[in-house]
């Protein structure tokens, strides 16, 4: 694997860092209390071209390779995890699923709009009684003339309360289980769906998460993605990309936590010296750096394999599992280095510590990643 960056990639990342520092970083605390800041951030990212970076040019994107895309995502997560999560749900979950499973008409109708943030996307898989065990969903779409009637509910949908377009996984067959599932695009022209209020949560509070309700919601036939009955398997294919994305989320938080801890350790004095001089503090920083570099290598390896077209699902699970735990450990070590200050909202580490926890839950809990990796060993 050769991860030397080209001049073009380096220039892009330099300008991206500058853009994020000026446009996104100043509001990273205030975003927890304002959806308007999130909307404005998403528009800025679209204007910069980050949201549609990996989309093909014909759909308004830049056709960027997976490695460039991944490095850019890590930079965004490092600056604002909430904005990362919402952009990821809109373009990375909803947009990517339409890109991979949609027909020409569906891609033309939605992708440019999502990439330019004229439409905000979401992806609704999880239900109150089906998260890790996605094959147990109950939301059902029943065939009617010209389309389907959708009934049921979804839970923990990122962007749910602000979404214009939602990709929904639902049962279509008589039975329950993977063979009976299909994917649908819901937009504002489909009547009968609504969102609950944004849930009050521990971290990434700037990115709204909510329930979605479908009450005799009519979805026209042309909004069926792929073939009826293929939904579960096509979703599983997309999960590789989603999981690499979630690994970037955690790595970005780990990097930001190390930045904060390094800065604080060189400012704070105790016992007549900078706390950086205490071996325990500098060793925490050294271990964090080693873990961050290891996580980055795993993510890049998964991205490179994904880019080659080979099955990268196990590499994605490994990268996500490891990076999410690194994110939590590094944020924890960084908070400890801050002492009492780390527990106070004035310091950024307090927010990063809360945000980091999602890494081990979203896009499949760590236990599920371990199960998938263990299964791959048997092959």
User: In angstroms, what is the minimal distance from the CB of 277 to ligand FAD?
Assistant: 39
Q: How far is CA 220 from the centre of its chain?
A: 28
Q: Is 229 in the site for ligand FAD (CB under 6 A)?
A: no
Instruction: Return left, alpha or beta for 214; rule: phi > 0 is left, psi -120 to 50 is alpha, else beta.
Output: beta
User: In angstroms, what is the minimal distance from the CB of 223 to ligand FAD?
Assistant: 18
One residue of 358, 359, 369, 372 binding ligand FAD per CB under 6 A: 358
The reply to whether 363 belongs to the active site is: yes
Whether the CB-CB separation of 322 and 300 falls below 8 Å is answered with no
Q: Is 158 in the site for ligand FAD (CB under 6 A)?
A: yes
Q: Give, as ranges, the residues between 128 and 147 that touch ligand FAD (CB under 6 A).
A: 131-133
Q: Is 185 in the site for ligand FAD (CB under 6 A)?
A: no
Of the residues 291, 296, 360, 363, only one is catalytic, namely: 363
Query: Per CB under 6 A, which region of 141-149, 306-314, 330-338, 363-371 contacts ligand FAD?
Result: 363-371
One residue of 37, 77, 89, 244 binding ligand FAD per CB under 6 A: 89
DSSP string, 16-71: HHHHIIIIIGGGTTGGGG-HHHHHHHHHHHHHHT-TTTTS-GGGTS----HHHHHH
Give the count of residues interacting with ligand FAD (CB under 6 A).
23
For residue 98, what are its two tokens? 């339409």
Comparing C-alpha atoms, which of 159, 1, 158, 4 is closest to residue 71? 4
Comparing C-alpha atoms, which of 349, 256, 312 is closest to residue 24? 256
Q: Is 10 in the site for ligand FAD (CB under 6 A)?
A: no
Whether the CB-CB separation of 254 and 334 falls below 8 Å is answered with no
User: In angstroms, what is the minimal distance from the CB of 163 to ligand FAD?
Assistant: 10
CA distance 9 to 12: 5
Return the active site residues: 363
| Footprint on this chain of ligand FAD (rule: CB under 6 A) | 89, 123-126, 131-133, 156-158, 201, 204, 209, 358, 361-365, 367-368, 371
């Amino acid at each position: 694997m050769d991860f030397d960056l080209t001049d073009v990639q380096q220039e892009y990342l330099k300008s991206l860092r500058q853009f994020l520092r000026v446009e996104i970083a100043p509001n990273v605390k205030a975003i927890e209390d304002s959806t308007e800041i999130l909307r404005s951030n998403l528009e800025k990212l679209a204007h910069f071209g980050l949201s549609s970076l990996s989309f093909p040019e014909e759909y308004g994107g830049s056709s960027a390779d997976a490695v460039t895309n991944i490095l850019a995502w890590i930079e965004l997560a490092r600056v604002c995890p909430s904005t990362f999560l919402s952009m990821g749900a809109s373009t990375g979950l909803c947009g990517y699923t339409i890109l991979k499973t949609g027909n020409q008409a569906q891609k033309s109708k939605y992708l440019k709009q999502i990439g330019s943030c004229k439409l905000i996307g979401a992806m609704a898989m999880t239900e109150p009684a089906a998260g890790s065990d996605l094959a147990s969903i109950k939301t059902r779409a029943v065939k009617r003339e010209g389309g389907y009637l959708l009934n049921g509910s979804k839970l923990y949908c990122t962007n749910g309360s602000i979404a214009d377009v939602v990709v929904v996984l639902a049962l279509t067959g008589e039975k329950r289980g993977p063979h009976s599932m299909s994917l649908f695009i819901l937009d504002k022209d489909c009547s009968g769906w609504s969102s609950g209020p944004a849930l009050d949560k521990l971290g990434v509070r700037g990115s709204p998460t909510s329930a979605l309700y479908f009450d005799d919601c009519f979805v026209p036939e042309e909004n069926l993605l792929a073939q009826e009955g293929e939904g579960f398997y096509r979703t599983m294919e997309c999960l590789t990309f989603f999981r690499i994305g979630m690994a970037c989320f955690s790595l970005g938080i780990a990097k930001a936590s190390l930045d904060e801890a390094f800065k604080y350790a060189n400012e704070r004095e105790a016992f007549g010296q900078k706390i950086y001089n205490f071996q325990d503090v500098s060793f925490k920083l050294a271990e964090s750096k080693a873990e961050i570099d290891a996580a980055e290598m795993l993510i890049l390896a998964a991205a490179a394999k994904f880019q080659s077209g080979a099955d990268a699902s196990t590499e994605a699970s490994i990268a996500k599992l490891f990076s999410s735990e690194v994110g939590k450990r590094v944020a924890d070590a960084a908070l400890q280095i801050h002492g009492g200050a780390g527990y106070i909202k004035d310091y950024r580490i307090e927010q990063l510590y809360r945000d980091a926890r999602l890494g081990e839950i979203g896009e499949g809990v760590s236990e599920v990643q371990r199960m998938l990796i263990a299964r791959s060993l048997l092959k």
